Chains A and B, each alone.
Chain A
């Protein structure tokens, strides 16, 4: 770690407390060499309306996704993105964003696919920063390009593909979408646009734990005792479990991946980014409709 971690007491109980920073910690360290702040939002223009001083913008649609293939950018693309964002391989990156860090967690997950070591979330994201009355600026930084190495993505440890999910059946699955999407009443989040799945419902045996349960009203992560109630007591997760989380296109589930992996210490957690827009359109895969998880079909 290039920059010391935030020793704030609310993070100490988490399995990887170095993955979170508080607004106080960040505000004191803005524009410290070796630290780059990244904003990643659902709304592509929100950064332009005001952002944390010195923060660069990385957009999930236009920067992290490959424009042609349904996949992420490759090692070369990531190196180029890092270079123009002023990020070196050993830079401490702090990501924050709108919607309770929904897209920030997604960006953090993509950074992790490329093995960027020190990447953290600003607890509470934009909402908390604003509620605290902290400052924004309109001024966009002009980062000095860096020499970022070309590192290929490692899709094998924290990313699950559809065939991985098929062989995973029988192990814990967490469906982080809304209850309406889980039960099959609809294929998109309430009030969200149709993103194209031909069938509604959920993957057999998946437990429904909407992603936002992990955050408190002020947008910060809930304490460990409450997370344990939700994911261990509620969804039945146990130490040593091999877990796959999914949502609609893999963004809300990266938030849950962050919680399970870095806050609760589950070691084998993968995000199925194909998620419902893929599973709900695949031919001949099993689907369950209704509020019960349902059984894994015998093979």
Chain B
């Protein structure tokens, strides 16, 4: 994977994390967690559309929208699961606005590049890897049909 292949908005998120000390990386993750947007009205009453991310310890559900080849990701997770909310928020901000090809070409190891495995533990980080894999799978399904 070469550096150039990471879309700018994801590279910025990654660089923001990497520029911080370990402890401050957790604070930044918390900021992402707090920024996870509420679901838009059109999805709020449609839990059926959302996919549970089984790799996460806490209940988190994601939904990918593809319009004119542009991806938008929505996620919902309870406030008592701030780490999971943070992961979802990073991906929602980092993937939304990209083309389907850009997301599908993103390395599956992107979560490992954020410098978070020491701060949150590799086991917890698996949840984010699972979330990314499921987002990609939804895009593949949507672009096939």
A43:B79 contact, CB within 8 angstroms? no
A45:B59 contact, CB within 8 angstroms? no
Bound complex: CA A43 to CA B56 (Å): 11
Bound complex: CA A195 to CA B55 (Å): 10
Contacts of A139 in B (CB 8 A): none
- Contact (A45, B83) CB under 8 Å given A193-B126, A193-B130: yes
Bound complex: CA A46 to CA B83 (Å): 8
Closest to B86 in A: A45
B29 proximal to A (CB < 8 A): yes
Q: Which of B6-14, B43-51, B113-121 contacts A (4 or more CB under 8 A)?
A: B113-121
Closest to A49 in B: B82
Bound complex: CA A168 to CA B54 (Å): 35
A2 proximal to B (CB < 8 A): no
A71 proximal to B (CB < 8 A): no
Number of A-B contacts (CB under 8 A): 61
Bound complex: CA A65 to CA B126 (Å): 18
Contacts of B30 in A (CB 8 A): 45, 48-49
- Contact (A98, B86) CB under 8 Å given A45-B26, A193-B57, A193-B127: no
A44 proximal to B (CB < 8 A): yes
Contacts of A193 in B (CB 8 A): 54-57, 123, 126-127, 130
Contacts of B83 in A (CB 8 A): 43-46
A61 proximal to B (CB < 8 A): yes
Contacts of B55 in A (CB 8 A): 193-194
A62:B121 contact, CB within 8 angstroms? yes
A192:B33 contact, CB within 8 angstroms? no
Contacts of A131 in B (CB 8 A): none
Closest CB of chain B to A176's CB: distance in Å? 17
Bound complex: CA A44 to CA B116 (Å): 12
A49:B79 contact, CB within 8 angstroms? yes
A61:B120 contact, CB within 8 angstroms? yes
Question: What is the size, in residues, of chain A's interface with B at 8 Å between Cβ atoms?
Answer: 18
- In chain A, positions 20-63 with a C-beta closer than 8 Å to chain B are 42-46, 48-49, 59, 61-62
Contacts of A195 in B (CB 8 A): 123
Q: 1/0 contact trace for B101-143 toward A, CB 8 Å?
A: 0000000000000000011110110110010000000000000
B54:A191 contact, CB within 8 angstroms? yes
Contacts of A67 in B (CB 8 A): 118
Contacts of B120 in A (CB 8 A): 44-45, 61-62
Closest CB of chain B to A276's CB: distance in Å? 15
Contacts of B79 in A (CB 8 A): 49
A46:B29 contact, CB within 8 angstroms? no
B27 proximal to A (CB < 8 A): yes
Closest to A46 in B: B82
Contacts of B81 in A (CB 8 A): 43, 46
B76 proximal to A (CB < 8 A): no
Closest CB of chain B to A258's CB: distance in Å? 21
Closest CB of chain A to B35's CB: distance in Å? 13
Bound complex: CA A98 to CA B30 (Å): 17
Bound complex: CA A61 to CA B119 (Å): 9
B84 proximal to A (CB < 8 A): yes
B21 proximal to A (CB < 8 A): no
Q: 1/0 contact trace for B67-99 toward A, CB 8 Å?
A: 000000000000111111010000000000000
B82:A61 contact, CB within 8 angstroms? no
22 contacts between A and B (CB under 8 A): A42-B57, A43-B58, A43-B81, A43-B83, A44-B83, A45-B26, A45-B33, A45-B82, A45-B120, A46-B80, A46-B83, A48-B30, A49-B30, A49-B82, A62-B118, A62-B119, A191-B54, A193-B55, A193-B56, A193-B57, A193-B130, A195-B123
On B, residues with C-beta under 8 Å from A are 26-27, 29-30, 33, 52, 54-59, 79-84, 86, 118-121, 123-124, 126-127, 130
* Cβ-closest 7 pairs across A and B: A61-B121, A45-B82, A45-B83, A193-B55, A43-B83, A44-B120, A48-B30
On A, residues with C-beta under 8 Å from B are 42-46, 48-49, 59, 61-62, 65, 67, 98, 191-195
